[in-house]
Copies of this chain bind each other. A is one copy, B any other.
Amino acid sequence: MKKNLIIVFTGVIMLLSTINAMAQVNGLQQAENMVIKKGMIKVTILYPGGEGKKFDMDYYTKKHFPLLKTLFGDALKATAIDKGIAGGAPGAPVPFVAVGYLYFDTLADFQNGMKTNGAKIRADVPNYTDIQPVIQISEVLQ
């Protein structure tokens, strides 16, 4: 009787152990997915502010970025969007109303994606802004 109890107890502990191990692997995989790795290519699209300029942040976040993700596919490793709120000095105007970031493993991944999809991407821009963006290609150092 006591022996049976121990066997059941062992079974429960083994099950818990397995669940823990699975959760751990899952947690670490999530962590790895989130890492912006040193050496990655970061394409930054900066939208300078200005009198009478329009920028539809709702469209940018909900329509344009999902479109970019669909078009670039797996080559696009991560994205980010900032909303400009202020300049550095007190009362200074905000330099950029919005900044978008696209992360790729290599510059070729971005360039090949643009060759295929550049026209479609550019065609969507008037749907959210009349600002001519500044485009910066960077390497992630840290």
Contact = CB atoms under 8 A, between A and B. Distances in A.
Contact of A6 (B7, B65, B96): B7
Interface residues on A, range: 35 or more
Contacts of A65: 142
Interface string A84-105: 1111110010111001000000
Contacts of A14: 13
Number of copies of chain A assembled together? 2
Interface string A49-81: 000000001000100010000000000000111
Main SS class of interface, A: mixed
A110 to B, nearest CB: 10
A139 interface: yes
Nearest to A114: B88
Interface of A: 2-3, 6-7, 9-10, 13-14, 16-17, 20-21, 23-24, 27-28, 30-31, 34-36, 42-46, 57, 61, 65, 79-89, 92, 94-96, 99, 107, 133-142
